[in-house]
Structure 1
Amino acid sequence: MKIIVRQKASYKKYKNKTFQELMNHSLVLLNKEKGVSSRNFTRFLLDLGFNKAGHAGTLDPNTTGVLPILLNRGNKISSILSLSKKEYIATMIVHKDFTKDMIESTFKSFTGEIDQLVPKISAVKRQVRKRNIYSIKLISINNRLVKFKVLCQAGTYIRKLIHDMGESMGTGAHMIELERTKSGPFKLNECLSKDKFIKLFNKKNINCFRPLEDAVKDINKVWIDDGAIIPWSKGSPIYFKGILKFTSDIKLNSKIAVFNTSNELIGIGISKSNSDDFLNKDEGIAFRNYINLI
């Protein structure tokens, strides 16, 4: 995303936080184990002294992979990560004989916007929802086992996607394995095992944490003047004159990450205009206060 400067300012170098500061204002990236719910998997963090530990995007007990966990005050932005794109590697078993062409044709037909009926076992109301499937790529075929990678909108049920693809082929299919390989900006190779995290934590090694700033890499950003910090901390909206610089793709009513001149994330705003107005307007509200991290 291109950064547009509205007015010049002096920026301070980002200051790395201490271990204690990160305990209150950070996130953890864990590789969730198989056979345990997301909630039970993260419960050990409370035993380590964290008041809040909220995971961003639930994984079923038998699903492994990327599980971002927001700690203490950082828990306020869990919804931002929960709504980010997800990537999975899935293995399905096809119930009847098929060809590679059938698989690839089906993957193509299920790429784009699809209708998905929420599964009966889901915790949310059962209804048809629109979901975007950005890509489906075949990895391997071994007899009736098909392994593939899918990049999709948050809230997509991969088990249901596989069931529907099986119905479309006329063969039937069901999921036997699922691993989340990406959640928003975070990849599987960045994640720690539970044991590795505990080992680093007990040594007070800051590498067991990730700063909250990493969680908003994929959304638009705005930097505000020092004089606007106190009003922001009290819940006030930010006016155009308080903007220093911003990214170029801000749209009306979209979520934007708000930074101070020390390049620290201080909250999330809801834009009341677009990037053109952020540059050219002098009067009026640019964005309202949605999440305050000060």
Structure 2
Amino acid sequence: MFFYKKRNVHGLLLLDKPRGISSNNALQKVKIIFNAKKAGYIGTLDPLATGMLPICFGECTKFSYYLTESHKTYHVIAKLGEKTSTSDSDGVIIQKRPILFNFRKLLLSIREFIGLIEQMPSMYSAIKYNGIPLYKYARRGINIIRDTRKVTIYDIYSIHQEKNLITFKIFCSKGTYIRTLIDDLGEKLGCGAHVVFLRRLQVASYLHTQLVTISDLYKLSSLKNIDNVKIFQNIDDLLIPIDDLISFLPKIYLSTEESYNFKLGAKIDFFSNIKNSLVRVIEEKSKRFIGVGKINKEALLIPYRLVSRFTN
């Protein structure tokens, strides 16, 4: 890199996390490529897992909540007849049992998991207890008592079985543990099961066709303009604008003067058909997104979450 000073980078990157590294490791690689001051990922993927890992840069982190709370879709391959210590192929086999059910029994068992269910998070998860991830306790042989969590499985489809492998897709709510789901399914079938392949295909309305690999980033970041002035332009062009995360909110425009006051935290008189709702606020002249506001019943636009006026 020609520039060593960290940059203010703002926007969303949909990273295709490769297999074999942690989500945090992937994040650090991307931060270095972008030479970014601030970035964070949404929704931890296990080292075994691949696929969509949304990375929010700079001011985009203020709006990451909307992705954190959203639904997700996964492509899963599970191996039957073997239960492992981690509920995936990275663990050791702790029990082997014969596979005695037929395909109809498999479909009926899967159907029982659709809807609101309770899950016990795995000890090999990133959930923290006293500030320490559970998997660190598990590696030391310490078992922590965990509370069950309620999650929603909206659909399990494209089910296919070939010998001791089953393949399907899962459309689920935030907080769903796929490894736990597969482990529970294995117990219901009486043979045990663990994850051998896991890929996140979708988060909210973002699709796997929008993914960018780390290899893509390395290649693009090595393509420099003749004068090296826009050395980061190739990869910056991959970033999704901040307000795309909240594209479901109605959009309103403010004049330059109104925008200035709004960014200072002032309430703005705003008469429209929108009442008692959050809105995306755009500066009319520059077309820049400046934050989220709320229009109340008294036709006042109240600042709710602002983009820093110091961003570039």
TM bin (shorter chain):
0.7 to 0.9
Amino acid at match of 1:30: L
Match of 1:91 among 77, 80, 83: 77
Amino acid at match of 1:146: I
Decide whether aligned partners of structure 1 residues 243 and 38 sit closer, same or farther in structure 2, where only a CA change above 3 A counts: farther
* Structure 2 length-normalised TM: 0.71
Q: Percent identity?
A: 28
**Per-residue deviation at 1:190?**
1.0
Cα-to-partner distance string for 1:235-292 (whole Å, 9 max, x where unaligned): 45x57x426565x9x87xxxx45231546433345x6x9xxxx6xx3x2767661454
Match of 1:107 among 106, 110, 119: 110
State whether residues 25 and 71 of structure 1, in contact with CA within 8 Å, keep that contact through their aligned partners in structure 2. Answer: yes
Q: Aligned partners of 1:26, 1:33: CA distance in 2, in Å?
A: 21
Unaligned runs of 5+ in 1: 1-21
- SS class of match (2:106): helix
Q: Aligned partners of 1:232, 1:104: CA distance in 2, in Å?
A: 55
**Per-residue deviation at 1:145?**
0.5
- SS class of match (2:79): strand
In the other structure, the counterpart of 1:142 is: 162
Match of 2:20 among 22, 32, 35: 35
- SS class of match (1:119): coil
1:111-126, aligned counterparts within 5 Å?
111-122=114-125, 123-124=127-128, 126=146
Q: Aligned partners of 2:262, 2:304: CA distance in 1, in Å?
A: 7
Decide whether aligned partners of structure 1 residues 71 and 177 sit closer, same or farther in structure 2, where only a CA change above 3 A counts: same
- SS class of match (1:24): coil
RMSD value, Cα: 2.8
Q: Aligned partners of 1:172, 1:101: CA distance in 2, in Å?
A: 17
1:77-226, aligned counterparts within 5 Å?
77-95=63-81, 96-122=99-125, 123-124=127-128, 126-203=146-223, 204-205=233-234, 206-217=236-247, 219-223=248-252, 225-226=254-255
Amino acid at match of 1:233: K
* Structure 1 length-normalised TM: 0.75
Q: Which moved more, 1:26-35 or 1:170-179?
A: 170-179
Q: Aligned partners of 1:265, 1:120: CA distance in 2, in Å?
A: 42
State whether residues 65 and 181 of structure 1, in contact with CA within 8 Å, keep that contact through their aligned partners in structure 2. Answer: yes
The alignment of Structure 1 onto Structure 2 pairs a total of residues equal to 255
